[in-house]
Chain A
Amino acid sequence: MLSDLWGLGAGESARLRGELPPGVTGRRLAEMGFVPGVRVVCLQKRRAIAAYALRGAAVALRKGDARLVAVERDEPWA
């Protein structure tokens, strides 16, 4: 099911799909390891910022930036 990164709740996981947002945001995300195909798990979610695990490391993104990243959620039974 396609969604954006912010749509993940704590504990849910997904894979990155599609292109990253243009500009500085996209570049920073790519450098942090947000590459199409990589698996992301949401670790913690606050009102406007959330922490994600990818490739064994934890990073935090604000709501506005997370909304720009397209992901495909892992179905619970997959």
Chain B
Amino acid sequence: MGLTRSSTGSAAAGERSAPDGRLVVLCGSPNVGKSTLFNRLTGLRQHTGNWSGKTVGCAYGRCRGDREIVLADAPGAPSLRAVSGEEARTRDIVCFGGAERVCAVCAVPLARTLPLALMAMEAHGCVCVCVNMLDEAEKLGVKCDLEKLSELLGVPVCGVSAASGEGADAVAAMFSGAAEETPRSPVRYPDDIERAVGEILAAEPRLGRFLALSLLRGDTDAAESAARGLGIPPDELERAAAAGRALLSDPGSADARIAAAVSRTALEIERAVCSEPPAPDWRLDRVLTHPVLGLPCMLGLLALVLWLTAAGANVPSEWLAAALGYVGGALSSALAFLPEWAHSALIDGMWETSARVASVMLPPMAIFFPLFALLEDVGYLPRVAFCLDGAFARAGASGRQALTMCMGFGCNAAGVVGCRIIGSERERLAAVLTNAFVPCNGRFPALIAVTSLFFARSAASVAAALCALVLLGSALSLVYTRVLTATVLRGLPSSFVLELPPYRRADPLGVVVRSAVDRTAFVFARAVKVAAPAGLLIWALTRLGVLGALSSALDPAGRVLGLDGAILLSFVLALPANELVLPILLLCLSVPAGTDLAGALAMAGWTGETALCFLIFMLLHPPCATTLLTIKSETGSWKWAALAFVLPLSAGAGLCAAVHFVYEHIII
């Protein structure tokens, strides 16, 4: 997925429809390497991260071996009994997606990944199984008898190591083959449940075993989907369900008993097919999840990433600024034939803003994001959720909110979309509304720049200051979550099981190159599409004399917050994207082209107080337009987007006003 244009904003929330061809759906638990397999078979480059819930939404692609076959990469789901929105998507694609074949992707340990395959066999007429990550299983010392597995399940089974590509051809060949009817799944339920299923299927044979079992489990969401997908009137469906439920010995426990039967079967099959898996390698985690050492390690890693960003961005920034300055000069001369106003509009307005975004904003983003992606890929983020769970539980938040907040570091909009991994609707809303308290990739460059100029000399102290800001933002997000879950979003906490997948050896060069290119291309495109018009608009406002008036109008409000009118105006105009704030500010200050940031801010009369308030406001201000639009489409209402706008603003304004008060009345 990556944090690119197509994966954030309204584009990500929308459903994509499948292209024409023979549809094969890939489904499986999170972390079985399903997306890696998808990439391998289609040649596409969906970004995969090593934690639950990374693939959000459904990707489609043509199979390399046989162009007739269209592969769908369904969201990761440990079970077709859906808890979250994306798991429901997977269930619906399997049951009603019109696929010719469903391929359940499994991996060692089979006991945990087989249940989905067993359920898929109950839900779809043509299922095959693909056991992935065989190379990792071998490294762990686990042997799998795939022929025996195929015999016990009754469906074709293929082994593959998607990361290296070994066996991918056999998988493609398996898909190309004739679609065979899948026999009944080997799961045997207690007698009363089997009788109840028979009763439901007698009334509605089109349902199939999985949907019949879902009705017995009281899964209303699945029932609604079934009514829609099969065109059965809901009351008819309810009658059939009631008839079935009447035969159950204890309807209340049906859900748990059905799940237990599936898990028991998976465990038995695993025992028959695989050698005993060794215990997970906990050596590194003993330190990283340690009650005392865990948090310092986490903070240390954060500080390291920020230090590398701050230190590494300097030279490329200067180089880029020089190069773009040269290009700007050449462009200016080349366009000298234009009338003065047109020349100024293009060069001083559009070019200047875009160039500042590229040179000041881009290098830190191009360093931070790959580092963050590396941590994600390796599988460290669930450990963060594990260490911070106490704080999140006390705030009434889902434990997965730690993960979505981490995603917010990359991009707030992506963090909001990522909240789909939270099953409970009210906990998801809490996570969505407070995601913007975490500074996104686009805000770091401004934070680094201002901190280096006013408060810290070395990259190390800049990193420390930034850590403090991140902690402030995170702490406030938890405070606001607590308030939300105690008032507007009250309810019972949902149960929470966190997977801690084994650390994956990430391909550092691959991740770095791929995400640097992804991110760079994205920001470049956004700079051109958004910064250039913004620069043009401000240039026009300046020429018309309106800018000065707007700036003065906002000045009183700005002063109360320890800022000034120009800064406030910049924040307003930078609504489309956070990386625009500083470039727009420089434009508003009408500094001569080529003035560096230090000079410009000195000219504008910035003091230490101004810088501090700027940092606070940069951390705590309304989310960018992309994020707001994403919130609207994810929650379905402008009401929540409006709340998401107000919450960080209230924190930022309140804190800035407090700081200003202290400076005014206490510090001379």
Contacts from A to B (Cβ < 8 Å): 19-38, 41, 43-49, 51, 53, 55-62, 64-65
Contacts and interface: CB of A to CB of B under 8 A. Distances in A.
A58 B499 CA distance: 6
Contact of A58 (B282, B291, B393): B282
B451 to A, nearest CB: 33
A63 to B, nearest CB: 9
Given A22-B253, A31-B259, A55-B277, A49 B495 contact: no
B64 to A, nearest CB: 31
B456 interface: no
A38 B556 CA distance: 67
Contacts of A56: 108-109, 140, 142, 277-280
A32 B497 contact: yes
Given A20-B260, A31-B115, A51 B109 contact: no
B494 interface: yes
Interface in B46-93: 78-79, 81, 83
A41 B259 CA distance: 22
A33 B111 contact: yes
A65 B260 contact: no
A51 to B, nearest CB: 6
A6 B83 CA distance: 25
A46 to B, nearest CB: 5
Given A23-B256, A36-B260, A60-B499, 7 more contacts: A28-B497, A33-B266, A43-B285, A47-B390, A55-B277, A60-B498, A62-B389
Q: How large is the interface on B (under 10, 10 to 19, 20 to 34, 35 or more residues)?
A: 35 or more
B289 interface: yes
Given A56-B140, A56-B142, A58-B500, A27 B399 contact: no
Contacts of B38: none
B390 A27 contact: no
Contacts of B108: 56
A59 B386 contact: no
Contacts of B140: 56
A62 B496 contact: yes
A19 to B, nearest CB: 7
Interface string B337-375: 000000000000000000000000000000000000000
B252 to A, nearest CB: 6
Interface in B12-63: none
B390 A49 contact: yes
18 contacts: A19-B256, A25-B495, A26-B260, A29-B497, A30-B263, A31-B81, A32-B78, A33-B111, A33-B267, A35-B264, A43-B285, A46-B389, A48-B390, A51-B289, A57-B112, A58-B500, A60-B497, A65-B495
A22 B252 contact: yes
- Of B108, B111, B264, B493, most buried by chain A (CB within 10 Å of CB) is B111
Nearest to A41: B279
B162 interface: no
A55 B252 contact: no
B494 A24 contact: yes
B495 A53 contact: no
B536 interface: no
B112 A61 contact: no
B166 interface: no
B270 A55 contact: yes
A32 B112 contact: yes
B255 interface: yes
B50 to A, nearest CB: 13
A58 B382 CA distance: 11
